[in-house]
Amino acid sequence: MISAIVLAAGKSVRMGEPKMVLPWKNTTVIGRVVDSLVQAGISDIVVVTGAAREAVEGALCNAPVRLIHNPDYAHGEMLSSFQTGLRAIGENVEAALVVLGDQPQIEPWVVKSVIQAYQDRHSILVVPSYQMRRGHPWLISRSLWTEALALKYPETLRDFLSALSDHIEYISLATKTVLEDVDTPEDYQRIKVENDVN
């Protein structure tokens, strides 16, 4: 079984308002991410909240997810939210997808491609790339969870991946959506246009 950890705890400083609950098609930014994971066949989805907790929980009140709050979201950066999600996953799970809550343009086929690469070759880390640049969502095997949980701030997930670069299986995908996230109002408008979102 593969679970998904959706990182949705950020403070949205550059956006100026809670970006996870901005409109996206017939739902919200975070709602669209969850929809794509469901369409890709993920049945265990853990959404880690932090800032704007009530708004994110409200947006997902009818979604098939488990909502976990990271009380350290303001100090531990993305690492602490990832670790919070990892601790919430059951013992029957063999790998976890690390998903950004502000990538509403991610499509189910991208998620499936990452999972398929893991299932075919049982790599301990699978990372999608576009034009030689690392993206999301990426997958981490349970064999690395103890090491990941031992990381301490100011270490980051980027540091973690860099230290294990020899163990990463990269899958090259012909879509830049794996690189982009919605950080600013300009990002939001541009990505909506590129993905034909009204």
Which DSSP symbol is given to 17? S
152-185 burial by CB neighbour count: b if 16+ within 10 A, else e? eeeeebeebbeeeeeebbbbebebebbebbbeee
Residues contacting residue 75 through CB under 8 Å, at least 6 positions apart:
153
Are 73 and 53 in contact by the 8 Å Cβ rule? The answer is no
β-bridge pairing 125-130 and 138-141: antiparallel
Taking a C-beta distance cutoff of 8 angstroms, is the pair 184, 21 a contact? no
Predicted local confidence at residue 30, as pLDDT: 98
Q: Find residue 130's DSSP bridge partners.
A: 133
132 CB contacts (<8 Å, ≥6 apart)? none
Q: Which amino acid is at 176?
A: K
Buried b (16+ CB within 10 A) or exposed e, 26-62: ebbbbbbbbbbbbebebebbbbbbbbbbebbbebbee
User: Structure pTM?
Assistant: 0.97
pLDDT band for position 27 (cuts 50, 70, 90): very high
Reported as a pLDDT band with limits 50, 70 and 90, residue 74 is: confident
- CATH class, domain 2-190, is alpha beta
What is residue 116's DSSP assignment? Answer: H
Task: Give the model's pLDDT for residue 198.
Answer: 66
In tens, the pLDDT along 94-146 reads 999 999 999 999 999 999 999 999 999 999 999 999 999 999 999 999 999 99
| 65 against 198, higher pLDDT | 65
**Which of 143, 4, 151, 134 lies closest to 83 in space, CA to CA?**
151
The answer to whether residue 189 scores a pLDDT higher than 70 is yes
Give me Rg for the CA atoms of the chain: 16
What are the domain boundaries of the chain?
Answer: 2-190
- pLDDT of residue 161 exceeding 90, the answer is yes
Give CA–CA dist 46/177, Å, rounded: 22
